[in-house]
Amino acid sequence: MTGVELLIWVRGPGLQLSLAAFILGMTYRILQTYFLGRAKNLAEPRGSPWIHGMKTMWWRSFFHPGMTIRGYFTIISGYTFHLGFIITLLFFDQHIELFKSWTGLSWPALPPLVITVTAVLGIAALVAVLVDRFADPVRYLLSDYQDYLCWVLTVLPLVTGLLLVYKIWLPYTSLLVVHIISFEILLVAIPFTKLSHVFTIFIARWYNGAIAGYKGVQS
């Protein structure tokens, strides 16, 4: 296949298939988890599990005192790479065009220079967390191949996107193909790796909040 044929494939069937795999996988994963079921709680509730569950879903996104005593590295690098990635994904004009083609919805974009900053910060923070994964004994002990695989899958769209926008290394068409493929691989990988936390985080937080909320504690 030539570059142009690859581009047509990744923009056409590739995007369709990866999005379908993502949706299928995510729906599968969520429902599979839900239908595993859990026992009804017979104890008299002190609080509403629903309300506390929803609150935890939201509040757990924010740092609160007592979350760490070791310093702020994890917090800062974690927020930076998440925000860097999400802002770059959601607020770059050309990405909005993609979402618009899927959903018909669009929203204001951030200037390309701002997006460059968010992408570079995102990459820098990802590099920092990778170094830390090796350097920190706790994270090193917890890590398996999937953590490193997911790191690569996350950083690639950011790196290839920057190369594409600034036309570094390869011609535009080739970089566009590589960039879209990196996104498609990420999309397919999300439901089947720890990256599924992009959705299941809300389920986990809800359960956490609901379990504590049942007892009247806002977790």
Q: Does residue 2 interact with another protein by CB under 8 A? A: yes
Q: Does residue 48 interact with another protein by CB under 8 A? A: no
Report residue 105 as tokens: 């919805």
Report residue 170 as tokens: 């390869």
Q: Does residue 28 interact with another protein by CB under 8 A? A: yes
Question: Residue 181 carries which side chain, given as an amino acid letter?
Answer: I
Q: Does residue 50 interact with another protein by CB under 8 A? A: no
Tell me how far apart the alpha carbons of residues 178 and 169 are, in angstroms, rounded to a whole number. Answer: 12
CB of 3 to another protein, least distance (A): 8
Report residue 45 as tokens: 């509730």
Q: CA separation (Å) from 2 to 32, 171, 180, 182?
A: 40, 13, 16, 18
Which of the 8 DSSP states describes residue 66?
A: T
Q: Does residue 107 interact with another protein by CB under 8 A? A: no
| Closer CB to another protein, 159 or 161, in the complex | 161
| Closer CB to another protein, 120 or 215, in the complex | 215
| Closer CB to another protein, 83 or 139, in the complex | 139
Do the beta carbons of residue 106 and residue 96 sit within 8 Å? yes
CB of 121 to another protein, least distance (A): 18
Contact pick of 44, 105, 107, 145 for another protein (by CB under 8 A): 44
Tell me how far apart the alpha carbons of residues 82 and 89 are, in angstroms, rounded to a whole number. Answer: 10
CB of 30 to another protein, least distance (A): 7
Site string for another protein, 72-101 (x = CB under 8 A): --x---x--------------xxx-xx-xx
- For residue 194, how many other CB atoms are within 10 A of its CB? 14
Site string for another protein, 156-195 (x = CB under 8 A): -----------x---xxx--x---------------x-x-
Helical ranges in 104-171 per DSSP H: 112-135, 137-142, 145-165
